[in-house]
């Protein structure tokens, strides 16, 4: 059995802290902590040990020519639907097209390394909570009032995700950071 991994962009610490402060005064959900706030580009449910080095190398070669770009968080929604929300998320205001291009490259890097990415369509977002199949319309209205500053995406991270047991958040550890072109 392989390792759960994903490729992600992390907003700067000040953006994550501001968002954490915004949701912390809103009780009722277990909000994602600032250390785990990220935009997932590709998720790999099982990366065999033999595929880790090729994945790292392929990811680096795939994104080396991608130029840094501006990005900001704004807008909100729920998967699969606001009436039955399993995931509450914050959207991307600027940088959505660039993130989509990065996601294609990250998924391609996985495929070339023999690691199959999940088959879900890419939708740039930052997961904030997992409310458990509830109507989230009220929460979405609240989250839509948040807007982050624009920052520069200048690197991607290959992250190991270890599950901690039922009801516990996964533990994330960056395995490799890959810079984008300046």
Give me the active site residues, please. 38, 125
Q: Using the 8-state DSSP alphabet, how is residue 69 labeled?
A: E
As given in the structure block, the two tokens for residue 86 are 């399993």
As given in the structure block, the two tokens for residue 157 are 């991270």
Gap between the Cα atoms of 101 and 103, Å rounded = 5
Strands 125-129 and 151-153: unpaired
Alpha helices per DSSP H over 64-157: 96-112, 137-143
As given in the structure block, the two tokens for residue 118 are 């999940």
């Amino acid at each position: 059995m392989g390792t759960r991994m994903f490729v992600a962009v992390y907003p700067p610490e000040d953006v994550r802290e501001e968002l954490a402060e915004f949701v912390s005064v809103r009780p009722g959900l277990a909000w994602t902590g600032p250390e785990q706030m990220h935009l997932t580009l590709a998720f790999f449910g099982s990366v065999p040990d033999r595929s880790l080095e090729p994945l790292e190398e392929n990811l680096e070669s795939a994104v080396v020519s991608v130029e840094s770009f501006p990005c900001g968080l704004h807008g909100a929604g729920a998967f699969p639907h606001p009436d039955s929300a399993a995931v509450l998320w914050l959207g991307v205001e600027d940088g959505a097209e660039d993130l989509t291009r990065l996601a294609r490259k990250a998924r391609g890097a996985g495929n070339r390394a023999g690691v199959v990415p999940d088959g879900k369509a890419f939708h740039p977002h930052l997961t904030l909570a997992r409310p458990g199949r509830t109507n989230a319309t009220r929460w979405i209205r609240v989250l839509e009032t948040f807007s982050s500053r624009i920052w520069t995406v200048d690197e991607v991270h290959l992250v190991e995700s270890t599950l901690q047991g039922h009801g516990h958040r996964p533990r994330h550890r960056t395995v490799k950071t890959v810079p984008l072109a300046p």
